[in-house]
Copies of this chain bind each other. A is one copy, B any other.
Amino acid sequence: MICVNKPEKNVYNENMAVEKKPALINLHQLKVSCSQCNLSELCFPHGMNPDDMEKLDTVVEQRKPLHKSDHLFREGDVAAGVYAVRSGSVKTIVESPNGDEQIVGFHLPGELVGLDGFMDGKHTCTAIALETTSVCAMPLEKLEVLCTKLPSLHNQMRRIMGKEVNDEHKMLLMLGKMSAEEKVATFLLSVSRRMEERHWKSSEFVLSMPRQDIANYLGLAVETVSRLFAHYQADDVIQVDRRRVSILNMQRLKEIVGECKGAEASAVKS
């Protein structure tokens, strides 16, 4: 059986390249397999036994790769399924009645998108590819049927939804209570932690989203994000070159998030 995941670094490489052309082989023509995917520990099947994972393989479909700015689904769409990012990255946004939009999440390989629609059948947010991105799709009906047969899958769904709620709570805390400095530091640490989860360098990475999207996500102006990146660079906390970020002083970043009152004097003296 052909498995696109065998070469263990490929998906990461595709993710890291800011604007790389699609792979030579046509991913969406290949059968995919959770049980042989190197992202399985992060993704849907995390913690499931091999038998159940093989059953999960029967419901997972590979989708045609998305290009940058392509929509995976839109707010209001009937929810066709849950998606796992395979390579690339995705942002999810919600729109306000008066037009402007709030980014509610960035999703890296192994992370799930579309859980919002799993619940009441319609998506409450819009998902857009930040770069060339491929996803695995798990159609709702098949997933539901399988859920009734596999208790482990049922638990898995619950665990995953729990993480979703937890993440949104953290984000409410960030938007409601944090200063701009804390927000940017939190964002960098969040990306770093998730890079580490993927066994990718945690202190040197390429952001797949423009400053505008980071600012939107954090509830800030673009200029503020740009300035704070510059400040942190001047203080040797990070090094930035366009979208490439290196974290030089992880401890300092954590101090800024943990207790900004005490740390900001030394962290940012402007």
Contact = CB atoms under 8 A, between A and B. Distances in A.
A194 B258 CA distance: 37
Interface string A153-182: 000001101111110111111011110000
A118 B97 CA distance: 31
A17 interface: no
Contacts of A165: 115-116, 119, 124, 164-165, 168
Contacts of A163: 119-120
Contacts of A241: none
A119 B159 contact: yes
A160 to B, nearest CB: 8
- Copies of this chain in its oligomeric complex: 2
Nearest to A178: B96
A125 interface: yes
A40 interface: no
Contact of A161 (B161, B170, B216, B260): B161
B124 A177 contact: no
Given A96-B177, A97-B257, A97-B258, A116 B169 contact: yes
A250 interface: no
A173 B98 contact: no
Nearest to A260: B98
Nearest to A261: B98
Interface string A213-253: 00011110000000000000000000000000000000000
